[in-house]
Amino acid sequence: MITRRKFIAGTSSLAIAAALMSVADLVLAPAAWAQEVSVAELMQPGPLDEMSIGKNDAPVTIIEYASMTCSHCAAFHNRSYPEMKKRWIDTGKARYILREFPLDPLSAGAFMLARCAGKDRYFPLVETLFNQQNTWVVQRPIEPLLAIARQAGFTQQTFDACLKDQKMLEGIEAVRNRGAEKLGVNSTPTFFINGKKYNGVLTVEDLEKAIEPLLKS
């Protein structure tokens, strides 16, 4: 259980740990791609609104479980995500859902800020946070986080209020716990593409191999 007190108390040490993380978010080889889960189980709604982009009736659904402090998640979002969005999401071929899987209180706080920014600003703020990850995953993260949040319209007051939202924090925890307990998510990033599970960073070539056959079937 991550509480507001633990978030504030833990940011310094956990930010450093997240930056140095090398086990929880290992990039796995394509040979590890095999497991499938029940689509009904995968798509079961959680306590929070799904954060998604793309057509609801797109033939392919891509779900990513990510942590905001995960360096490999940042690598995916900075390198592969823009082309994925251009080729499959913006063209109506795929719907993308991002589910929060914070590995530490700092990541949970970053996701809270993205949600507090509102649905229209959620993904832009997430992408900014991933792009600037090295500026706020530091020993003293609050000030750089606030600076980024201000660019999304936050004030000091709304920033503080967001990080005190225990109900939202518990909802994010519930999403993470269900992913771990019901879907076997144990590292970030983890993807599900039409129910098939993929661990680790996906390149554009990896995405093409996973998505294109589904569009032809």
The fraction of the chain above a pLDDT of 90, given in percent, is 79
Give the separation between CA 204 and CA 81, rounded to whole angstroms: 8
Question: Domain ranges in the chain?
Answer: 4-216
* pLDDT the model gives residue 35: 67
Confidence band (pLDDT; 50, 70, 90) for 24? very low
Which CATH fold would you assign to the domain 4-216? Glutaredoxin (3.40.30)
Q: How many CA atoms lie within 13 A of 142 on its CB side?
A: 12
- The predicted model gives 14-18 an average pLDDT of 39
The neighbouring-strand residues paired with 43 are: none
Average pLDDT taken over every residue of the chain? 87
pLDDT in tens, 93-152: 999 999 999 999 999 999 999 999 999 999 999 999 999 999 999 999 999 999 999 999
Shortest CA distance to 27 belongs to which of 202, 209, 204, 208? 202
Give the separation between CA 7 and CA 164, rounded to whole angstroms: 10
Examine residue 45 and say whether the peptide bond preceding it is cis (omega within 30 degrees of 0). no
